[in-house]
Amino acid sequence: MRIIYATDLHGNPGAYERFLKEAGKKKIEAVIIGGDIGPVGFMGLFIQAQRDFLEIYLLPRFRKFKKETGKTPFIMMGNDDFRVNMDVLERAEKKGILKLMSQKVHKLNGFQLVGYSYINETPFLLKDWEKKEQEIKNDLEKLAKKVNPGKAVFVFHVPPFNTKLDMLYNGSHVGSRAVRDFIEKHQPLLTLHGHIHESPRMSGQFNEMIGRTMSINPGSESMVSVGLNDLKSLKLIKFA
Ligand SMILES: [Zn+2]
């Protein structure tokens, strides 16, 4: 079971094209996008710009991808995506163009896939996908009851706190403590993250073992591909 993962593509068609080209290869069985789907800018204007990005570019592109490869991408929003546009993604899911994964458990050929869009609080203006650490902790405990951790892949938009995966340009750590506690306690097979675009560049690492769990944040300049039966097969692929 080989998966491919990218995150924080922020409406960059070049990155999407590169990702879908790689995702279309025969050996890839699941295609996963971890949030911050659309372009960003000032608030009001960008609600419509993100909606247009989904309707004019992304959904037709996914439809074509599915027709050519038979694969349906798994996707969720991140903290920079306006929740008010969820109806567009929900309609696309009903048409079979994509599968939404935040707070849902999907079967993945003997494994399980669970997404979680929410991040811990930030100084940024958009609060659609922010929660307090305690609330995140409560949500995650509910999700933990629905999976077999040893067979589960969790996609958290936010990285775990104080790791190689949550390092800002100034060297400080801003990940979620609740996400880290969850990984330490439940030890899922694999966790995939994003949100801190520069972390791999700053820390020099895009993956880290937390106990038996492999955690990955490829940043916004690369994607990763990995076999779930053999995590050592992990490969980082640059967009450019
Ligand atoms: Zn982002």
Q: pLDDT, tens digit, for every residue of 88-136?
A: 999 999 999 999 999 999 999 999 999 999 999 988 878 899 999 999 9
pLDDT at 43 (0 to 100)? 65
Cα 116 to ligand 1 centroid, rounded to whole Å = 14
- End-to-end Cα, the chain, rounded Å: 26
Cα 210 to ligand 1 centroid, rounded to whole Å = 23
42 has a pLDDT exceeding 70: no
- Give the Cα-Cα-Cα angle 35, 109, 74 (nearest 5 degrees): 20
Q: pLDDT, tens digit, for every residue of 12-26?
A: 999 999 999 999 999
Alpha carbon separation from 182 to 10, 113, 119, 123, 137 (Å, rounded):
27, 16, 14, 24, 7
Cα 208 to ligand 1 centroid, rounded to whole Å = 20
Give the start-to-end residue ranges of the domains of the chain. Answer: 2-238
Is the Cβ–Cβ distance between 233 and 190 less than 8 Å? no
Cα 47 to ligand 1 centroid, rounded to whole Å = 16
pLDDT at 41 (0 to 100)? 74
Q: What percent of the chain has pLDDT over 70?
A: 99
Q: Beta strand pairing status for 111-116 and 105-108?
A: antiparallel
Measure the CA–CA gap between 145 and 149, rounded to whole angstroms.
9
Alpha carbon separation from 111 to 29, 70, 92, 108, 136 (Å, rounded):
12, 20, 24, 5, 23
Task: Give the 3-state secondary structure of residue 46.
Answer: helix
Cα 8 to ligand 1 centroid, rounded to whole Å = 4
Measure the CA–CA gap between 76 and 35, rounded to whole angstroms.
5
Measure the CA–CA gap between 206 and 150, rounded to whole angstroms.
21
Cα 20 to ligand 1 centroid, rounded to whole Å = 19
50 has a pLDDT exceeding 90: yes
The architecture of the domain spanning 2-238 is: 4-Layer Sandwich (3.60)
Residue closest to 57 by CA, chosen among 38, 36, 71: 38
Is the Cβ–Cβ distance between 46 and 82 less than 8 Å? yes
Q: What is the pTM of this model?
A: 0.97
Is the Cβ–Cβ distance between 101 and 76 less than 8 Å? yes
Cα 36 to ligand 1 centroid, rounded to whole Å = 5
Task: Give the 3-state secondary structure of residue 14.
Answer: helix
Q: Residues for the chain: how many in total?
A: 240
